Structure 1
């Protein structure tokens, strides 16, 4: 059995960051296990190819939820990245950190070291921002951040509509305040996607002898000696292999698969595990609980304006022209992340923080792109930023290759539906502004929606995820559902840590990729500090 100081399970945003930073010390050996491939081909690096991954199973686990009672029993879709970079290799590349109050809230829950002042240095250290500078931004980090290179004039039209509807324009969503509408910065460089793997792992796979990367290696079980994690069992093709961790096993499988692996290994609610014939190693009932996600609704419009992608003769011609331009210049439509504009709004003036987020898309997006339709057009997402509903993840069987059961419990709390109704109306105010109204040919989703009852019906019939699941290995103190402490160590066990979005006690107000990379950066520093004192 090969041995390393650290074995990191999962090459997503958190796993790439922590594995890379730990392996900066040539005296520390790190193995990174990833169930998918290397994700270093054109499908990943070309932003315009995103739809090939989100809508199908290319580099994507493509999970489904259990039927959602709050969504009229519909089964939801949960795309998750499979390959080095994880979901940062298939996402819409929007660079958002969340509001400073989110992290101060974590600290108030007893998670010392996780206030905004504590985490800002790690956001900055990870970042190489080509456009923004000052106290909130970093230069020279592994994660490249820049503005869109699509050159799409619809961005100015969107801003004009925002002004017409009397919304504030925000130049930087990651500075002192967040409220307002604007254009998003992206994790790109030279018009190409810049995943966590491109920044943290790919450059060092052949240059660091102490960094060992195994792809197509799906972890099936954590190995224990008593209460100490000593390694990982994994499948690679038809082979079952084991790898030893001299110091720690670090789980970075994400909000669904980190709790799944813990439960498969006997860590979780003992009674629930016993029903699958899994012997309890440590009773930890919070594993898989506290699932939080942003419920999201999508408005859709057909349009004859020449700014939008879609299945039409003009749209297909635009794609071919865009491919040629991309090859020449790394600019134009193929660099688009689709969700080029958006912002954060308060549905009530008395709110301290924005409670909804918009993603304005340069294409019609129906059912995550899985239901293409003829014609070109645009869409606009609106999601609830701080939902009260809590869901869970659990095992469907003891088969480690079976997907976990996923229940976001969307609209489990009526307050979330109330917020979404208000968010619907606020977004409609923007879409009805003259600049955007002029682009609309037909309303494909909400043409006949007028009353609050009709709004509630269309929401229950269409809402789904906007891809931000967190919280299932909750960080906390004096909390019966806490799975990890503020150092991200799993309670009741030794040599086992979780480093991914599952540790978030509460969902942040925004996209979760940049915060997950921050978690990886901070975790590496905490581990290094422990090594120095051990």
Structure 2
């Protein structure tokens, strides 16, 4: 039985200090009369790995910062179980991700509105993308100049940006000066959420740390929320684990669930909201039958390709031990040098078929091998120099699901991504591999590469490529849509992010998205948080007045 004797109560309780939850809590606390509690199951975000941009390669696999989630055996990936990195610290995955600043295509959001998510068209979400952003480009029709999230270009001669940009036209593609501007496809310089001091900008550093002095905001880490608490069908608080046992904290106005694409449906189901038959099987009393909870799961499948370099010019040169030591000092003191970078040569967002209305693949082009290690002459020999590209299928047709393993809150959710269930997704990835071969074998990029290391030129037929994809594909860390709006009878939330069938409960994270945006989901998650906070306040920024879309 939960302990209700503490008498703690707040106006708003935000569950999950991730990319959206931090935003919601900070924005609600801007109103002095709002008493706001932000709860995070993970720990603090103070470790240097979470500050130094290049150290995300160390942070992602580290169990101190990452929940050790795995899929169930994937039915269309030879039964493999895939790691599902999710941030285990304040800021959630914004504290461990690759910091890539991208929004997706305008048609992604117009599709949401067409599906029934009123208020979520591109013109209606663009003001919130601007509100969150402090762009190196300055204030404009498409960019914000003074928002909490600093966005800077990925710009270093060490990253070999120019050869890919020069190869674009000869390979049959266009370039763009700004993928968030008028022309939202082509080859472009990548951008990152890194500040002027060379530090990662997470939702925690951008929103919560500046708000910590407010007397009406309380932030607690290391707190496991077991379930939402209801009186009738109104959510009145949350049940947490505490040193005194389970405890109930009450919310006078609303609870905002921001647990993320895996944890938000998990908590809903533990609270009795979800597919009734599944809940009964797990021994959970049904509060509201909501068949869409945990369904419609989408994730960007990612496949790696690699080419041997013809010269020792990749970023591996910067991983010699003495250079790492010198550059660490340079970064710590001045925020300068290669350790303050995201290692992206070029952001390539293109169509594999001319008839498509938006790009269907993205190449994360990187001048370094996927398994790069530090080295030192004679003591630890260096690896071969390799160029690596991560190929991302932006609009998957396959859909997965999240279920309960048991009714124990400490038993993590059962996740099946169901990647490559649809033949169309395999076809897209095959086309991506063939496009990457064409691009990388076009001068001047071709002058930097030699033999194809992975999958190898002998892997050519559809059947051979399918086998390679199934054996090697992994996640881009962009899961969405398990508590989606705009899904008709299977909608979990309405267009104001209120959970359908109950009162006093909203969801703000990537789980509410009807479809996964065509790009990295870090900034879209922050956008959802910004818009949710305004919806709770009963206000909305006016829609942007936009010129017609610029043709490719």
> Could you tell me the TM-score, scaled by structure 2's length?
0.91
TM superposition shift of 1:164: 4.1
User: How is 1:373-452 mapped onto 2 (pairs within 5 angstroms)?
Assistant: 374-440=383-449, 442-447=451-456, 448-452=458-462
Are 2:83 and 1:83 equivalent residues in the alignment?
Answer: no
> Shift of the alpha carbon at 1:313?
9.7
Q: Deviations over 1:494-516 (max 9, x none)?
A: 10000000000111111111111
Q: CA deviation at 1:338?
A: 2.3
- Distance, in Å, in 2 between the alignment partners of 1:140 and 1:182 is 23
Aligned-partner Cα distance in 2 for 1:270–1:117: 37
Cα distance in structure 2, aligned partners of 1:314 and 1:337 = 14
Measure how far apart 1:212 and its partner are.
0.5
SS at match of 1:32: strand
Following superposition, the deviation at residue 296 of structure 1 comes to 1.1
- Distance, in Å, in 2 between the alignment partners of 1:108 and 1:382 is 28
CA displacement 1:287-315 (0-9 Å, x = unmatched): 100001111111123447454345x8964
CA gap of 1:12–1:151, structure 2 versus 1, over 3 A, is: farther
2:471 to 447, 461, 466: 461
The answer to whether residue 30 in structure 2 is matched with residue 24 in structure 1 is yes
Distance in structure 1 (CA, Å) of the matches to 2:232 and 2:491: 21
Residue pair 2:130, 2:144 contacting (<8 A) in 1 also:
yes
Distance of 2:517 and 2:127 partners within structure 1: 17
Of 290, 309, 328 in structure 2, the residue corresponding to residue 284 of structure 1 is 290
- Which shows bigger deviation, 444-453 or 173-182? 444-453
TM-superposed CA distance for 1:150, in Å, is 4.6
Structure 2: tracts of 5 or more residues without a match: 1-6, 375-381, 541-552
Q: Deviations over 1:238-281 (max 9, x none)?
A: 85332111001100011000000111111111221112211111
Paired with 1:163 and 1:241, the residues of 2 have a C-alpha distance of: 62
Shift of 1:52: 1.5
CA distance in 1: counterparts of 2:501 and 2:139, whole angstroms: 43
Q: 1:325 aligns with which of 330, 336, 350?
A: 330
Q: Any conservation in 1 of the 2:274–2:290 contact (CA below 8 Å)?
A: yes
CA contact (8 A) 2:16 2:39 kept: yes
Q: CA deviation at 1:335?
A: 1.3
Distance in 2, Cα, partners of 1:70 & 1:363? 29
1:204 aligns with 2:214: no
8 Å contact kept, 1:148–1:335: no
Mean Cα deviation higher: 43-52 or 486-495: 43-52
- Name the structure 1 match of 2:378: none
CA contact 2:116–2:485 (8 Å) conserved in 1: no
Cα deviation, residue 328, structure 1: 4.0
CA deviations over 1:24-51 (Å, ceiling 9, x no partner): 0011111000111221332111012111
Q: Is 35-44 or 74-83 further displaced after alignment? A: 35-44
Cross-structure match for 1:504:
513
Do the aligned residues in 1 keep the contact of 2:128 with 2:531 (CA within 8 Å)? yes
| Farther-moved stretch of structure 1 (7-16 vs 298-307) | 298-307
Q: 1:344 aligns with which of 331, 349, 354?
A: 349
Secondary structure at the residue paired with 1:438? Answer: helix
Q: For residues 109-148 of structure 1, what are the structure 2 equivalents within 5 Å? A: 109-148=115-154
Report the alpha carbon displacement of residue 155 of structure 1 after superposing the two structures with TM: 1.7
Partners of 1:242 and 1:309 in 2: CA distance: 51
1:322, 1:30 → 2: CA distance?
41
In 1, Cα distance between equivalents of 2:451 and 2:254: 56
1:376 shift after superposition: 4.0
User: Which residue of structure 1 lines up, in the alignment, with residue 109 of structure 2?
Assistant: 103
CA distance in 1, matches of 2:231, 2:466: 53
The CA deviation at 1:418 is: 0.7
Count residues in correspondence. 525
Q: Report the equivalent of 2:485.
A: 475
User: Partners of 2:54 and 2:367 in 1: how far apart?
Assistant: 11
- In 2, the alpha carbon distance for the partners of 1:149 and 1:354 equals 24
2:252 maps to 246
| 3-state SS of paired residue (2:506) | strand
Q: For the aligned residues, what is the CA RMSD? A: 2.2
2:543 maps to: none
The residue that corresponds to 1:487 in the other structure is 496
Tell me, in whole angstroms, the C-alpha distance in 1 between the residues paired with 2:390 and 2:50.
Answer: 23
Distance 1:322 1:378, change over 3 A: farther
**Which is worse superposed, 35-44 or 90-99?**
35-44
| Residue 170 (structure 1) shift | 1.3
For residues 235 and 509 of structure 1, the distance between their equivalents in structure 2, rounded to whole angstroms, comes to 38
- Whether contact under 8 Å (1:187, 1:194) holds in the other structure is yes
Structure 1 window deviating more from structure 2 (138-147 vs 336-345): it is 336-345
Distance 1:236 1:192, change over 3 A: farther
Matched, 1:5 2:11: yes
Instruction: Report how far residue 476 of structure 1 moved.
Output: 2.4
TM-score normalised by structure 1 residue count: 0.94
Q: How does 1:355-374 map to 2 (within 5 A)?
A: 355-365=360-370, 374=383
Gaps spanning 5+ residues in structure 1: where?
none
Q: Is the 8 A contact 2:137 2:143 kept in 1?
A: no
